[in-house]
Amino acid sequence: MLDRSLNAAVSGRRMPRLDAAPAGWARSSGLIPYPEAEAVMEAHASAIADGAAGELVWLLEHPPLYTAGVSAKPADLLDPRRFPVFRSGRGGQFTYHGPGQRVAYVMLDLSARGRDVHVFVGALQAWIIEALARLGVRGDVREGRVGVWVERPGPSGAAREDKVAAIGVKLRRWVSFHGVSLNVDPDLGHFGGIVPCGVTQHGVTSLADLGAPATLAEADAALRAAFVSVFGPVADAPPPL
C-alpha cells in the first residue's frame, strides 16, 4: 500500500512568496520544440536571478521526444531511434514528452520563498496531488521516488502503482526551472522507448487511462487553482514562445 501518512504530509506543503507577489501564468499553443523551450527557460531564470524579470509558470506541449536528466543511464534508452533525444540539466533520468501531456515549466525565485529545496520539491508534489484531486483522481507519493503515483488494481487483482506525473527541476542562484509533466491523454505506448525515470517495477498512466478523462483546458484550470493554493497568486502573462 502507498504511504498514506507521507502523502498527507506532502499534501500539506505550502511555499508562498514572502511578499505575496503574483507569479506569471502563461500557456503556449501548438507543439513547442524542446531546444527553444530550454533556451527560454535558461534566459528567464537568469533574468529572475538578476532582478530583471518576474516569476513565471509556463504551460506547453512538446512534440514526441525523450529527455535525459543528469542521472540518466544509457541502458535506460531502449529505442534511441524512435524519437529525438535531448540531454537536459534537470534532475532525474529519462522521461518522455509529447502531445496530450501538459508540461509546466516552473521558474520561481526561492530566495523569496524560503530557500528550502526539500520543501520546494514537496510543494511541487502537493501541487500535482491537489490538481489531481480537482480532476477526481487520488495522487500519492512514495519515499525515495519523486513524482506522483496512483494505486490501482493490477491484472491479478493485486494493487499496482503507476506514475501519472513526473517532476524534474534544476536550481541556479536559487531560481528554479524545468518543472512537472502531467499525463492527460498522451500515447502511453511512446514511453516504451525508455525506462521512465529509471523505474522498472511500476508503470505509467494518464487521466484518460484511469477513466478520468479531461481536456488540456480542464487540466490547466485544475493546475492553476492548485498552484494558487500551494504557491500563492498568479497573474496572466504572455507566453514566451
Residues annotated as catalytic are: 197
Nearest CA to 50 among 231, 170, 232, 175?
A: 175
Cell readout for 183 is 499525463
| Pairwise CA distance, residues 117 & 193, whole Å | 31
Count of CA atoms in the C-beta half-sphere (13 A) of 120:
24
Closest to 32 measured CA to CA, from 3, 71, 63: 63
Distance CA 177, CA 100 (A): 21
